[in-house]
């Protein structure tokens, strides 16, 4: 039988392209598929995106769609811009599908959480639509339940008096949910809810977690799927980006690290989408210094980054904090002042606790447990490997949907 061909459509922005690129490399390495990345844009493709696509294995091709015309949109929010870019790229996507459907055995389309409008094109060509969700099972559960929550509550979520508890998940205050849903009159909320409702159209949802990390949340999702029309879920994580130093010479840092005592250095980084105010940056610097601990801080010069570069990552940070502290117990959460600043004294206290205190010791022990569990999940017969095999077996054996 001819090799199954998979189309992958990331939402605009490097933060959406990178996770799907890592998934593609996993698919190619283990499962002998051919893949085409289809890239929607609202302008010229960034240099970093082009370099990432060029560095993919040779059996992963890429097609950049003509830029979507958004000239009539003014001062739109990032999620609206992302969604409109994909929606207005559907005619171009349809043309690419015409070619792929005649030159390959096109069996599946994989999108991220904001690419669900492309399912309409997949249906036209009898191609199975799938979602790759780059976050945790708990966050996925919230998105799957959003249509129900929208009907259940009429007030703003941040005004709810009691925390909301979903099956298998820790209870969360409404104020800790996605920023996007904090104003129900905003266009971002409308788009967010739109995509959440379309999750049910997928043939399956892969997500970046594993059973030993989120046992309760994953079991609850599987139970929900038995009792509803939700698509099957597949935990395939952890998926992380292969090492990249962005052209920076790290030899001096590594040499310095080699000279430090074992487990004595705090690594400080806020990811590619992290941005702190000047005031918070200063407080962090003073707090780290006054803690008396060794630290290595990765900090970038300010850049004018596209607002959609890491949109989803930025949206779920409060949820991540609650999950890491309360559920997984692998983090310590500093207190935030009424002005939204974490002050130097609090930073110093938390850093000392993490590096020297009993709380930090418990965190490190738990992290070692999860590290071993992650390696096991990715082993030849590990849970995530077998979960991904289930998906690719469907792709390789199907002829139509």
Instruction: Centre a 10 Å sphere on the Cβ of residue 54 and count the other Cβ atoms it contains.
Output: 8
d(CA 19, CA 10): 9
**Residue 241, token pair as written in the block:** 């980006």
Instruction: Given the residues 5, 16, 145, 195, select the one marked as catalytic.
Output: 16
Burial label for 338, CB within 10 Å (0-12, 13-18, 19+), is exposed
Quick check: 104 and 395 in contact, CB under 8 A? no
Pair 128, 147: CB distance under 8 Å: no
Q: Rounded to a whole number, what is the distance in angstroms from the first to the last CA of the chain?
A: 17
Active-site residue, from 5, 42, 112, 195? 112
Give the Å distances, CA to CA, from 208 to 30, 55, 171, 234: 17, 22, 21, 9
Helix (H) or strand (E) holding 109: strand 105-111
- Residue 323 DSSP code: I
**Cα-trace Rg, the chain:** 22
Cα angle: 121, vertex 127, 128; to 5 degrees: 110
Q: What is the DSSP secondary structure assignment for residue 182, as one 8-state letter?
A: S
Residue 364 to residues 110, 287, 329, 358, Cα–Cα distance (Å):
36, 21, 10, 10
The pair of three-digit structure tokens given for residue 346, joined into one six-digit string? 């609090």
What region does 267 belong to: left with phi over 0, alpha with psi -120 to 50, or beta? beta
Task: Give me the helix-helix angle, 215-226 and 137-152, nearest 10°.
Answer: 50
Alpha helices in 297-400 (DSSP H): 311-315, 317-322, 344-356, 358-377, 383-397
Residue 145 falls in the annotated catalytic set: no
Burial of 15 (0-12, 13-18, 19+ CB in 10 A): buried
Helix and strand element counts for the chain (H, E): 15, 9
Catalytic residues: 16, 112
């Amino acid at each position: 039988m001819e090799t199954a061909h998979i189309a992958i459509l990331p939402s605009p922005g490097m933060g959406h392209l990178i996770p799907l690129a890592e998934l593609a490399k996993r698919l190619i390495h283990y499962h002998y598929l051919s893949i085409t990345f289809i890239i929607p844009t609202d302008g010229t493709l960034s240099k970093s995106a082009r370099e990432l696509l060029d560095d993919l294995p040779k059996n992963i091709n890429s097609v950049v769609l003509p830029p979507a015309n958004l000239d009539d949109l003014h001062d739109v929010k990032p999620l609206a811009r992302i969604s409109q870019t994909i929606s207005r790229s559907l005619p171009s996507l349809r043309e690419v599908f015409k070619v792929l459907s005649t030159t390959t055995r096109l069996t599946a389309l994989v999108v991220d959480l904001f690419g669900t409008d492309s399912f309409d094109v997949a249906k036209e060509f009898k191609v199975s639509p799938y979602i790759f969700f780059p976050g945790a099972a708990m966050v996925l559960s919230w998105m799957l339940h959003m249509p129900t929550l929208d009907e259940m509550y009429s007030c703003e979520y941040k005004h709810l008096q009691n925390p909301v508890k979903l099956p298998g998940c820790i209870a969360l205050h409404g104020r800790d949910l996605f920023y996007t849903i904090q104003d129900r009159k905003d266009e971002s909320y409308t788009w967010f809810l739109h995509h959440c409702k379309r999750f049910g159209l997928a043939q399956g949802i892969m997500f970046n977690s594993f059973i030993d990390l989120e046992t309760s949340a994953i079991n609850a999702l599987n139970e929900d799927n038995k009792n509803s029309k939700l698509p099957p879920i597949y935990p395939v994580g952890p998926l992380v980006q292969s090492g990249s130093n962005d052209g920076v010479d790290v030899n001096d840092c590594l040499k310095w690290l080699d000279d430090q005592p074992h487990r004595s250095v705090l690594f400080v980084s806020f990811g590619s989408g992290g941005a702190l105010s000047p005031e918070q940056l200063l407080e962090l610097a003073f707090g780290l210094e006054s803690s008396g601990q060794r630290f290595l801080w990765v900090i970038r010069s300010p850049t004018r980054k596209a607002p959609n570069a890491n949109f989803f990552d930025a949206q779920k940070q409060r949820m991540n904090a609650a999950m890491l502290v309360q559920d997984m117990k692998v983090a310590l959460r500093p207190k935030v002042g009424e002005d939204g600043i974490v002050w130097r004294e609090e930073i110093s206290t938390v850093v000392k606790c993490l590096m020297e205190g009993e709380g930090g010791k418990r965190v490190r022990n738990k992290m070692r447990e999860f590290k071993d569990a992650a390696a096991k999940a990715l082993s030849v017969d590990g849970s995530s490997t077998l979960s991904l095999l289930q998906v690719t077996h469907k792709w390789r054996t199907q002829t139509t949907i």
